[in-house]
Structure 1
């Protein structure tokens, strides 16, 4: 039996948001209970969300209805572009062109916040540090990096380079370079965990589940998928050990998600968000 993912109570509330912007409190408490959350934990979370102005509450207890004041799906929404690109790679639709994309920056200490934000953006986009202030990606992310650098006001401190003959020390073989620069073992382990959870989930679906159990499983599966994919640099298959567990895990996720989606009469917005992300699969 695969380990169940830990899901914050706040994320659960967002995950159960319906297309009409509401969350049924009875459903929320039922799913939370299956995830091991106490009623008190849920009540405190709802109270905080209402106090923050993120939701309004109509009614009390399990008969209440929460209504989102603004779009509250950002916490659980997948990065659609990132996920679609992963499935395109899995299908051989995004082969590597042999180019390394390099980004060098020397942002002054006075702009430390912007420097840290730029670094986080690079990591989120799948780039990795080669040495201090120099990051590399195997994917064409220059436009995204430039847009973020301009937004942060540090574009003058960033250099953009490409290379087809990158060498780090004595290593110049692309596949060996990828293994040296990115933590492939950690990335693979997260995908293997996703695959195990998807297999277990598929078996549960075959045995039959109630609607609340299906919702609970959907939230857990989405959380596990997010953990596997963030961060994943989405290195081209040409640079990865084969067979790579990422493509296998994404296939199992898609199959399980499709089965979950098929028999849900009133699915939360979570389903549509992931349907949109994996639509190329």
Structure 2
């Protein structure tokens, strides 16, 4: 994979992205099970074949993210588990409510110690902190902008990991300049490549739809789902570091603006394709 190439969309990731975008219903009326035939049709629109859909659904069911059920007319389908719904709700704040830290807000430190006999939890803890956007300050000491505190606490509580972690909020007092320290704590070059890969793939899509009206519903759905599937990883890899501490011409802000514009332009148009399929 070249530096500016997007990672491939997997069937499992696209199914999760679909449920996040269109499969949750409203706050007062959660969506029921999505018929498997509808899932196959909707994932087929983004290039996933039927056997791959069925295999990915089975894996998501085993992981406790999807639960089998019946639609109102008795068809077999799959809905979100409560745990999956909570994960998607938590993700909304990062994915759609992109926020960057401001100078003076401080840093969140996560200091953990896991007994050797529970080392599997050490791996899980490191993995979750990385997914939340933490960088590594020292062995057993992870750091993130302070604004991710509530999400971090919620995640650790949900996974039963809170007892292994102490959280601290504070300021960086030296000795090296904070911008240089940030470049040690995070791999900024890798993050910049991820942002640029998103732009290389999806900015031309935005330009294409900006010049065309109306938008065909299936095309809007396809382009939006692929953009969302690519974008939703980025606000976790990049936790929204203060702009003053980032290199010049940092592509993160531009990538966020492109996704926001695609969301505005395509999301609701794509729903005009989804709803008849679900019905």
- C-alpha distance in 2 between matches for 1:74 and 1:145: 14
Unaligned segments of structure 1, at least 5 residues: 59-63, 270-281
Q: CA deviation at 1:191?
A: 0.9
* Contact map agreement 2:68 2:76 (CA 8 A) in 1: no
Superposed, which structure 2 residues align to 1:59-78 within 5 Å?
66-68=77-79, 70=81
Aligned position for 2:67:
54
Unaligned segments of structure 2, at least 5 residues: 26-30
Aligned position for 2:92:
80
- C-alpha distance in 2 between matches for 1:241 and 1:128: 17
Over 3 Å counting, the alpha-carbon distance change for 1:119 and 1:166 in structure 2 is farther
- Paired residue secondary structure (1:54): strand
* Contact map agreement 1:100 1:166 (CA 8 A) in 2: no
Deviation readout 1:119-163 (Å, 9 max, x if unpaired): 3333233322222222233435556656637943635x6473634
Q: CA deviation at 1:178?
A: 1.0
The number of residue pairs the alignment matches comes to 254
- 4+ residue stretches of structure 1 with deviation over 6 A? 47-53, 74-78
2:173 is the counterpart of 1:165: yes
- C-alpha distance in 1 between matches for 2:133 and 2:152: 11
- C-alpha distance in 2 between matches for 1:76 and 1:209: 27
Aligned position for 1:38:
49
Q: CA deviation at 1:218?
A: 1.6
- Paired residue secondary structure (1:68): strand
Q: CA deviation at 1:234?
A: 1.8
- C-alpha distance in 2 between matches for 1:137 and 1:76: 21
2:232 is the counterpart of 1:223: no
Superposed, which structure 2 residues align to 1:246-257 within 5 Å?
246-257=252-263
- Paired residue secondary structure (1:164): coil
TM-score normalised to structure 1 length: 0.71
Over 3 Å counting, the alpha-carbon distance change for 1:45 and 1:176 in structure 2 is closer
* Contact map agreement 1:107 1:154 (CA 8 A) in 2: no
- Paired residue secondary structure (2:181): helix
Superposed, which structure 2 residues align to 1:88-103 within 5 Å?
88-89=99-100, 94-97=101-104, 99-103=106-110
* Contact map agreement 1:100 1:162 (CA 8 A) in 2: yes
Over 3 Å counting, the alpha-carbon distance change for 1:76 and 1:219 in structure 2 is farther
Over 3 Å counting, the alpha-carbon distance change for 1:106 and 1:24 in structure 2 is closer
Deviation readout 1:209-234 (Å, 9 max, x if unpaired): 53222222121011110232232132
Larger radius of gyration: 1
Q: CA deviation at 1:79?
A: 1.5
- Paired residue secondary structure (2:200): helix
1:185 to 178, 183, 189: 189
- C-alpha distance in 2 between matches for 1:68 and 1:159: 35
Deviation readout 1:89-130 (Å, 9 max, x if unpaired): 3xxxx4220734434333321332333333333323332222
- C-alpha distance in 2 between matches for 1:43 and 1:66: 11
2:264 to 258, 262, 266: 258
Over 3 Å counting, the alpha-carbon distance change for 1:45 and 1:199 in structure 2 is same
- Paired residue secondary structure (2:237): coil
TM-score normalised to structure 2 length: 0.71
Aligned position for 1:139:
146
